[in-house]
Amino acid sequence: MKSFRFILIAVLGLLGTNVLAQTTLQEAVAPGNKVYFQLVNDKDHPIPDDEIEDVTRELVNAGQWVSVATPEEADFILKVEAKKRVVVNSPRTWLTPYVLDKDGKELWKSKTQQADATMFNGYRATNTCIKKLIEKSFVADLFKKAGRE
């Protein structure tokens, strides 16, 4: 009987924690919230500054958030790990986004998205990677988890 009670309390505790985390993610990524964008650029294979601006602008617009200059002003932090290097004579870009709360606790992480530069995308691997990230990570995963469908 005591073990049944313990199991029941543990299950209810886990369910409560999961609901609380989902609510926190839901509140964090609501449209109109303030976001601090943090790009972690690979030291050995960084993406260029002009492409960083593209990543920042496109991801903030996709979420309908307001970009702020410091993490203290933000409702949440959007951290993106970025890497770019030439693979088989074609530039390839990798982007991995995370949603962090103000304290730096991870609320959500996406799979890494990658794209190659081709003649079909104007040899802009980063722009294609951004579009894939918005479609496959934000719309198909983050926004659904946050109830923004």
Give the CATH number of the domain where residue 10 resides: 3.30.160
Q: What is the mean pLDDT of each run of 10 residues along the chain (149 residues)?
A: 54 43 76 94 88 90 94 94 86 93 92 88 83 93 87
Q: Which residue do the tokens 């972690």 mark?
A: 40
Compute, in degrees rounded to 10, the torsion defined by CA atoms 51, 98, 132, 40: 20
Structural domain of residue 130, as residue ranges? 2-145
Q: Which helix (H) or strand (E) holds 147?
A: none
Give me the residues paired with residue 99 across strands. 78, 108
**pLDDT on residue 88:** 79
**Using alpha carbons only, how large is the chain's radius of gyration in Å?**
18
Compute, in degrees rounded to 10, the torsion defined by CA atoms 19, 17, 104, 144: -20
Q: Which residue do the tokens 């190659």 mark?
A: 116
Write down the pTM of the prediction.
Answer: 0.79
**pLDDT on residue 18:** 42
Domain count of the chain? 1
**pLDDT on residue 12:** 44
The HSE-up count of residue 144 (CA atoms within 13 Å, CB side) is 9
**pLDDT on residue 107:** 95
**Which residue in 84, 78, 130 sits closest to 109, CA to CA?**
78
Tokens at 92, concatenated: 């390839």
